[in-house]
Each structure stands twice: as structure tokens, then as C-alpha cells.
Amino acid sequence: QVQLVESGGGVVQPGRSLRLSCAASGFTFSTYHMHWVRQAPGKGLEWMVVISSDGTNKFYADSVKGRFTISRDNSRNMLFLQMNSLRAEDTAVYYCARDYKEPLDSWGQGTLVIVST
């Protein structure tokens, strides 16, 4: 069955970096666009970034452009999010989700990132 498993979250100080991973299984990863969506505590969903199936095209929300970088390794069925210059407002649960003919039809369980001193 389709499975997306995020990892890499934790507590990090403002200004530092963190790299999130999303391991995909149960489907042909290389045919799907992949997204990161986040949710601050008690808040709604915020779309952040997408990467095309072959990794050549990426689009970022303004809130993370220039600080976050999405990448993927289709040989290992892995999605990544490199987060630099982290701010308190980046504190959230980060979800990866896939996208093909049906948008965001499967999500991971999320990984919590806390940016705090």
C-alpha cells in the first residue's frame, strides 16, 4: 500500500538548519510530483513547495523561497526538504504528499519541527 514516512524533525535554534526526509513506498515514486505542506500548532494547512516527478521543476511559496530547498532521489524513492535560516514561525508539523492525477491524494504522518531557543 502507499506509504509516505517523514523524518528529521526536532528542536532547532533560530537561524540553524534542518533537513527533512520523506520515504515513499507502495507506488511508482518517479511518476509523481511531490509536495511539502506544513501546519503550525493549532493552525490551518499551508502549502509550501512542489517538485516535479523528474526533479527539474520546483515552485516555492513566498514564505520559504530562498530559505528552503526541495529535492528528490528517485533511485531511492526519497524526498527531501533542506530548511535553512529557520525562524520561530517555521514551527509546524511538516507533511509530504504526492500528486499525480489526483491532487495530494496521499500524505505522510508528518514530522514536527520546533524552532526555539
Partner 1 sequence: DIQMTQSPSSLSASVGDRVTITCRASQGITNELAWFQQKPGKAPKSLMYTASSLQSGVPSRFSGSGSGTYFTLTINSLQPEDFATYYCHQYHGYPYSFGQGTTLEIK
Contact set with partner 1 (CB under 8 A): 35, 37, 44-47, 50, 59-62, 95, 99, 102-110
Smallest distance from partner 1 to CB 16, Å: 25
Minimum distance from residue 100 beta carbon to partner 1 (Å)? 11
The residue (of 62 and 117) whose beta carbon lies closer to partner 1 is 62
Shortest CB 75 distance to partner 1, Å: 26
CB atoms < 10 A from the CB of 37, how many?
21
Q: How many CA atoms lie within 13 A of 98 on its CB side?
A: 24
Q: Smaller CB distance to partner 1: residue 50 or 83?
A: 50
From residue 6, give the alpha-carbon distance in Å to each of 15, 66, 98: 22, 22, 13
Q: Which is nearer to partner 1, 13 or 102 (CB)?
A: 102
Burial class (CB in 10 A: 0-12, 13-18, 19+), 54: exposed
Least Å distance, CB 117 to partner 1, is 26
- CA 63 to each of CA 54, 59, 115: distance values in angstroms, whole numbers, following the listed order: 24, 12, 15
Residue number, 75 or 102, with CB nearest to partner 1:
102
